Amino acid sequence: MSDGVGLRSARGPILLALMLSTFLIAIDATVLATAVPTIVGEFGGFEQFPWLFSIYTLAQAASVPVYAKLSDIVGRRPVIYTGIVLFLIGSILCASAWNMAALIGFRAVQGLGAGAITPAALTIAGDIYTVRERAKAQAYLASVWAFSSVAGPTIGGLFSQFLSWRWIFWINVPLCLLALWMLWRNYRQPFERHPHRIDYVGAILLTGALVLIVLALLEGGHAWGWTSWQSLSAFGLGAALLVAFGFVERRAEDPILAPWVFSSRIVVTTSIVALLVGVVLIALVSFVPTFLQSTTGAVPLAAGLAVAALTLGWPISAAIAGRFYLRIGFRATTLIGSVLAILGAALLAVFALSPSIPLTAVACFVVGLGLGLVAAPSLIAAQASVEMRRRGVVSGTNLLARSIGSAVGVAVFGAVANAMIAAHGGPEVPSAIQAGTIAVFIGVGGATLLMLAACAFIPPVHIAEPEDAAAADRATVPPSEE
């Protein structure tokens, strides 16, 4: 078997292709942030611009479970190819958009592509690497998100200022083609197809329910009030579709989300952990930059670097997580990570009393270290608990939970921050921003405590190392040698 997880190993080209694919969706989640003023200046529609971000997140989150199931039915290669092609088409359309409405619609196409790429990339990494190696592979993928969180806004600003905001999307074209070529050339799918009947009705009901619920969470308290008819209708109809989905899945021959997903303790507990990881991440990414800019006068780049410290700590600890969980187990590893995250959240709340960019960055780094020991090991534990033909659904469920956590976090922390800011004089008052952010950091501490409790319920996992090793070997054979 080819050894090593690095980019120079036999499986290095596959890992590099997965990193490139992940980079596409990671950077497009943030690259528009600094280009919004230029886009609004050309198209107008200032009140619509938040949809450039919401529609991308919404399409991605709603489509993940369907793509994840398809990757277990038709295989990983067709799904990730479909995702990259959709992302490519969406990018070309976005670059050619003629008004704000068209750009928003084309961002949805990008989001549908991202919804296929994310679970497929994680599942392929789970297929081609052994349990011992997966932590390092996940660290490589996590480092892409770390780089993108800093590079995205910077690249968006540079293109907008010196070229055109449309280059934000045109640059994706050669990158998508390169990722497709690298995967086609280097990745042989270690997957045995079985006859399945696709659960179209279940897919439609689940997608519709997720669209409505995530939409209500993203837009509630912003585009409309929580008790408005829009919010109540979205939540109510979404819940009704979920109930209908549950009835349909009981009779489906091969359901999108089979009953074993909900009866598996390891899948349920790690999904709850992923949800809480999403809550913590969105809180820090959303509120730390605004907090530092308002209270210290920091420029956006400096404030962004404080958040980058979080995404720097994550891949560092994820890279060494394998040494921990192979010696002390997945549960103990995630418990250690949760304690670190709790410590980081406490430091954030304390340091916020005397705002400081370096101290905030240190606290974010500690949280990142903790999340690296929680997110990757919990996902790997869930993947290792099932056979390969179910690994896509497990990866997709984990990603869906994290997306929902992010949507819930935005809604809850946004409401908390707004209430505190209003009570202390409004957003024009720095001390009011400080009070609101401290409340958010305290909420983050509560989320990390819940994360600790969820990690405590992760059951022992049997690791099927020989089977994984064989799959990793088969994956290194190029398609031309099949």
Between 153 and 125, the higher pLDDT residue: 125
Residue 464 lies in a domain: yes
Domain containing 142 equals 1-187
**Angle of the 51-73 helix axis to the 391-423 helix axis, nearest 10:** 160
pLDDT at 33: 63
Let me know the angle formed at the C-alpha of 464 by 458 and 466, rounded to the nearest 5 degrees: 155
| pLDDT digits 0-9 by tens, 368-387 | 899 989 988 888 888 877 77
Residues 333 and 432 in one domain: yes
Residues 371 and 421 in one domain: yes
Residues 221 and 323 in one domain: no
Residue 324 lies in a domain: yes
pLDDT at 478: 42
Average pLDDT over residues 148-164: 69
pLDDT at 321: 80
pLDDT at 2: 43
Percentage above 70 pLDDT, the chain: 80
Residues 221 and 303 in one domain: no
Residues 28 and 165 in one domain: yes
Whether 280 contacts 444, CB under 8 Å: yes
Residues 440 and 329 in one domain: yes
Give a three-class secondary structure readout of the chain: CCCCCCCCCCCHHHHHHHHHHHHHHHHHCCCCCCCHHHHHHHHCCHHHCCHHHHHHHHHHHHHHHHHHHHHHHCCHHHHHHHHHHHHHHHHHHHHCCCCHHHHHHHHHHHHHHHHHHHHHHHHHHHHHCCHHHHHHHHHHHHHHHHHHHHHHHHHHHHHHHHCCCCHHHHCHHHHHHHHHHHHHHHCCCCCCCCCCCCCHHHHHHHHHHHHHHHHHHHHECCCECCCCHHHHHHHHHHHHHHHHHHHHHHHCCCCCCCHHHHHCHHHHHHHHHHHHHHHHHHHHHHHHHHHHHHHHCCCHHHHHHHHHHHHHHHHHHHHHHHHHHHHHCHHHHHHHHHHHHHHHHHHHHHHCCCCCHHHHHHHHHHHHHHHHCCHHHHHHHHHHCCCHHHHHHHHHHHHHHHHHHHHHHHHHHHHHHHHHHHHCCCCCCHHHHHHHHHHHHHHHHHHHHHHHHHHHCCCCCCCCHHHHHHHHHHCCCCHHHC
| pLDDT digits 0-9 by tens, 403-427 | 788 777 877 887 788 788 888 777 7
pLDDT band of residue 272 (cuts 50, 70, 90) is very high
Residues 213 and 166 in one domain: no
pLDDT at 157: 66
Residue 193 lies in a domain: no
Average pLDDT over residues 34-42: 71
Between 40 and 105, the higher pLDDT residue: 105
Average pLDDT over residues 229-253: 80
Average pLDDT over residues 352-373: 88
pLDDT at 451: 93
Residues 423, 435, 311, 343: what is their CA dihedral angle, to the nearest 10 degrees? Answer: -130
pLDDT at 466: 44
Average pLDDT over residues 314-333: 82
Cα-only R_g, the chain: 22
* Residue 426 Rama label (left phi>0; alpha psi -120 to 50; beta): left
Residues 316 and 452 in one domain: yes
CATH assignment of the domain containing 433? 1.20.1250.20
Residue 113 lies in a domain: yes
What distance separates the 2 farthest-apart alpha carbons in the chain? 68
With a cut of 70, say whether residue 124 has pLDDT above it: yes
pLDDT at 442: 92
Between 53 and 236, the higher pLDDT residue: 236
Q: What are phi and psi of 220, to 5 degrees?
A: -60, 135
- End-of-domain residue from the set 135, 163, 187: 187
Residues 334 and 241 in one domain: no
Rounded to two decimals, what is the model's pTM? Answer: 0.77
pLDDT band of residue 479 (cuts 50, 70, 90) is very low
Residues 294 and 237 in one domain: no
pLDDT band of residue 330 (cuts 50, 70, 90) is confident
Residues 415 and 467 in one domain: yes
pLDDT at 474: 45
Residue 158 lies in a domain: yes
Residues 74 and 23 in one domain: yes
| pLDDT digits 0-9 by tens, 60-107 | 877 887 888 777 777 788 888 999 999 999 999 988 888 888 888 888
224 forms bridges with which residues in the sheet?
Answer: 220
pLDDT at 475: 46
Contact residues for 374 (Cβ-Cβ < 8 A; gap 6+): 273, 277, 334, 337, 338, 341, 451, 455
Percentage above 90 pLDDT, the chain: 11
With a cut of 60, say whether residue 397 has pLDDT above it: yes
| pLDDT digits 0-9 by tens, 415-472 | 788 788 888 777 777 788 888 888 889 999 999 999 999 999 988 876 544 444 444 4
pLDDT at 370: 92
Residue 194 lies in a domain: no
220 forms bridges with which residues in the sheet?
Answer: 224
Residue 192 lies in a domain: no
Which of the residue ranges 143-147, 148-152, 308-312, 417-421 would you say has the lowest mean pLDDT? 148-152
Between 455 and 297, the higher pLDDT residue: 455
Average pLDDT, the chain: 78
Average pLDDT over residues 298-303: 66
Ranked by mean pLDDT, the top range of 70-84, 150-164, 209-223 is 70-84
pLDDT band of residue 273 (cuts 50, 70, 90) is very high
Between 37 and 5, the higher pLDDT residue: 37
Residue 367 lies in a domain: yes
Total number of domains in the chain = 3
pLDDT band of residue 482 (cuts 50, 70, 90) is very low
